Structure 1
Amino acid sequence: MKSAMTILEMATRDKTEMARRIGCQSPWPQGGTMETVAVDSAVYFAPRSFRVAVNDMGNDLFLPPAGEAPWRGFIERFFGTFAHQMFNYFNGRTWGSVAAKGDYDSEANAAAVADQVAECIIRWAVDGYHNTPHSG
């Protein structure tokens, strides 16, 4: 639950100082108010306190049905871009499906800790993705 509330707060703030602290070359000014907060059916978005926080911000909460990937088209496509452009450089991937993963042992091949991966994700998003022309 704490992570969901932290993400909600971060979505509203300029994150340039955080980006600079980890070595990003570009600012990260994305933030502000929203009309709709769209989340998936993960358990950390279910508590009443999260729903109240979204409501208190004056936002609508959109919860697409579980198991219906087409209702989450943008984020599903972003995950594909993310996997192709950033996670191709890491061992220990879990792939996009059980069939694609096959017999690959992700845990045995893991080569980074969560904090390292988090910094790489931010640097890729701020200096890579945000500076690459795309239709989004």
Structure 2
Amino acid sequence: MIRTLSAGLLLLVAPHGRAEPPKADEPKPQKFCPVMTKDEIDPNVSKSVDYKGVKIYLCCDTCVAKYRRDPAAYLDPKFVPALAGIELPKRGTEQQFCPVYRDKKISEKDPSATYKGVKVYFYNATARERFERDPERFADPAVLPQLKKK
């Protein structure tokens, strides 16, 4: 009897805060930063910006600055599911990711270098320097679609 009472009391006291999965018409919640795409975000503490009423979470101040400098480069429903179905501006370059730091998105306003006659963009100057020291190591057409056209 005491066990049954204790179990019943635990059910009353235990939190009922199990998160329900999103409804069919609701987008999945954002889990990763759209700039540093492997960095998880926490909506309770992460920085955020707004795009057409959609709150976009970013992992740090560096990503906020990169986003503000060129929003079109980072508006991707793959990383921000709430953007699905919204008409998005076109990216300035076909290349999406840094060839050195492959989980970081790039913008045409980021550092660049010319390699085999095409412009290659990098997440930052350090990535560009690493590429320039050993370009063959990083020059992968899967990451640099502009190389396929050469």
Query: Do the two structures share a fold, i.e. TM-score over 0.5?
Result: no
Task: Work out which of the two has the higher radius of gyration on C-alpha atoms and give 1 or 2.
Answer: 2
TM-score, normalization: structure 2?
Answer: 0.25
TM-score, normalization: structure 1?
Answer: 0.27
Bigger strand share: 2
